[in-house]
Structure 1
Amino acid sequence: MKYFQYTNIGPRSKNEDSLYAGIHFNSVFAFIADGVGGLPHGDIASKYVINEFKKNIEADKKLSFKNLLINTNSGIEHLATKELNVDFIGTTFSGLYANQKKIKGIHIGDSRVILIRNERISELTVSHNEAGRLLRENKINKKESENYNRKNILENVLGSKKYFDFMEFNIDSKSNDRIIISTDGFHESITDEIILRISNKYKSIDKVYRGLTIEIENRILKDNTSFILIEL
């Protein structure tokens, strides 16, 4: 098992993406969060959830991802109203652990988890924004969703009971599976076709990582851009 992490502030004055990856108990644990634009303290919200999930790895009494996310949502609400004196701060979150048996995770917002297996990409998460919902309702197609002018409108997000609706995923893993967890700055800059071309070109995961970072750094970024690359 091997992993790489990357983050780029892009054109923003502040990086509101937070991420973590590490190997524990013969599994890769990886978490990524993107503070909600248009709200204050997005960097604080994203760091908060990453830190909560990191602490849980080594806790004596570990919580399930589901219960931990529920507790974290309440914690962010309290942080906003009681310590930061604002009504609402928010963040996306995609987190998982993966080993030679399974890939299990939890997700809310418009960050993304994809699996590359047998030279094909499959999405393990759905986008909790307006464009993603319309796509699932077959009201727009995939190409239209990519160019949809309100795709920045999040419908589910961590930080408020009103918008707190998450999804979980749990699949069997296979040797040489590759996983990419990314914020929207990444997967809106690089198409799946480019990701797949780079992955299929190289047997070495190190070279895949370099190929992806070169693609990112040769583009004009519109947002903070972060990803975690994993090979099992």
Structure 2
Amino acid sequence: MTRTMISIGTETRISLQDCYGGTHQGRVRPINEDRFLNRPDLNVWAVADGMGGHAHGDIASSAIIQAVAEEFEATKAGVKVLQAFSNAVHSAHNRIRAISEANGKIVMGSTVAGLLLAEGRFHIPWTGDSRVYLIRNGRISQMTRDHTEVQMLLRENAISEEEARNWPRKNVILHAIGVNEAPYVEAIEGDVEAGDTFVLCTDGLTAHLTDQDIQILVTGNTAQRACVELVRVALERGGKDNVTVVVVHVPALAR
């Protein structure tokens, strides 16, 4: 697997049989600012989390999901999947910035995490703290890394793991679409294997479930059942934020 800034991939379909997405506003938030995309016909999935506490977070997340869907629906043969995703993100970024300007420069933005499958490869672009996991051969791996203050400090060895667990500014996001002058998107890619399962989620899930919890609830379940169970457990444990999950099983590759 390779981890790079947004780069170029190739476009060929992978056959999928089982994928599902679900979202809930949670038990505390008055509205749901999360959105998700479940488009196996286009081999693209995404979750977006409008910035909690900021005005029009739901508009920002909707703009991203809509832009990704429209870009992939309009993509011509030969257009690279990561380039298509990048085009969509930039389009959504510009729209969010325009809405912000028109409303007195209110702060609004959204995280996004995507999964693109092409040519026997997976491509995972993201910004913010929405995550993508890969469950393979009985192990779960977090494929994304949170673009947050606490994770940056951990990577720089400025704080310890124990300090990170009790960090008072855990929710400070360093990158979000629509907030900065230009969008920042990181990406990782690798080969897909038959039997892989990808889990895309917003931080409303990971606030209540560990990686091991996610693996247990996903393994052996259909994508739909896995989503229902993941959301249910997050709500049972407090549901303090909007929670959104997309599960994608890859049973076989098209050759």
Aligned to 1:231: 249
In 1, Cα distance between equivalents of 2:242 and 2:176: 18
Alpha-carbon distance change, 146 to 180 in structure 1, aligned in 2, over 3 angstroms: farther
Paired residues for 1:185-196 under 5 Å: 185-196=204-215
Matched AA of 1:72 = A
1:80 counterpart = 2:100 = yes
Give the equivalent residue in structure 2 for 1:45. 60
Q: Distance in 2 between matches of 1:231 and 1:60?
A: 24
The residue type paired with residue 75 of structure 1 is R
Alignment of 1:8-157 (within 5 A): 8-10=24-26, 11-25=28-42, 27=43, 29-59=44-74, 64-82=84-102, 84-98=103-117, 101-142=120-161, 144-157=163-176
Alignment partners' CA distance in 1, 2:136 and 2:246:
16
Q: Which sections of structure 2, spanning at least 5 residues, go unmatched?
A: 1-15, 251-255
C-alpha contact 1:157 1:163 (8 A) present in aligned 2: no
Please state whether the residue corresponding to 1:154 is helix, strand or coil.
Answer: coil
- Residue 204 of structure 1 deviates from its aligned partner by 4.5
Please give the per-residue CA displacement for 1:59-91, whole angstroms capped at 9, x wherever unaligned: 155652223322321221112112x33343111
After TM superposition, the score normalised by the length of structure 1 is 0.88
The sequence identity of aligned pairs, in percent, is: 30
The whole-number CA distance in structure 1 between the counterparts of 2:21 and 2:38 is 7
- 1:166 maps to what in 2? 185
Distance 1:41 1:203 in 2: 35
Partner of 1:7: 23
Pairs aligned (count) = 228
Q: Matched residue of 2:65: which SS?
A: helix
1:178 corresponds to which residue? 197
Q: Tell me if 1:215 matches 2:227.
A: no
Contact map agreement 2:116 2:124 (CA 8 A) in 1: yes
- The 1:37–1:217 alpha-carbon spacing in structure 2 relative to 1, beyond 3 Å, is closer
- Structure 2 Cα separation of the partners of residues 43 and 219 of structure 1: 24
| Aligned residue type for 1:6 | G
When normalised by structure 2's length, the TM-score is 0.81
Report deviation, 1:18. Answer: 0.8
Deviation at 1:160, TM superposition (A): 2.8
